[in-house]
Structure 1
């Protein structure tokens, strides 16, 4: 019985990962294509914005392939702030309240 339950839980984990894979794969593909077209690499964008967000901790980023932009996430004093950055130029598109 324990083996049966273990098999079912593994099947569920694999199907969940398989469902998420195509979306992440397409986002990564579009990010690589944008980089080939001359956009700055994400690490350069992150470095540029870290200097503009003193006192904030960098939490990570998401890529929006439809807009060609990155959403950088920062935290200070328990409050999360987002900066949307054009992936082609590195310029700010939108920022949540600071």
Structure 2
């Protein structure tokens, strides 16, 4: 029992550095896709999306964006009265897809 606990701890310690590298690689892949979509004219820039959406969100504090390159969706994050809201925007059309 003690040996298996030691082996498990050693495995987890060895695997820990891999997780940030995989996450970073995935983020770089998404960034690369986002740039390619923007250059090809498939999607609007974040600046254009914000210009269209932020005026519609009066009274809310804008916390920032995320981009899902696979779905080509910008997720804009807002705060109002202590509650977080997410607004998903189609990067191709600039239309709001979902608000939560």
Contact in 2 for aligned 1:56/1:74 (Cα 8 Å): yes
Q: Does 2:21 align with 1:53?
A: no
Cα 1:13/1:55, change in 2 over 3 Å:
farther
* Correspondent of 1:44 among 36, 44, 48: 48
Q: Which runs of 4+ in 1 moved over 4 A?
A: 11-16
Q: Does 2:32 align with 1:17?
A: no
Cα distance in 1, alignment partners of residues 40 and 96 from structure 2: 19
Relative to the length of structure 1, the TM-score reads 0.76
Relative to the length of structure 2, the TM-score reads 0.75
Partner SS state of residue 33, structure 1 = helix
Q: Does 2:31 align with 1:28?
A: yes
Q: Give me the CA root mean square deviation.
A: 1.8
Bigger CA radius of gyration: 2
Gaps of 5+ in 1: 1-10
- Residue 17 of structure 1: how far off its partner (Å): 3.5
Gaps of 5+ in 2: 1-13
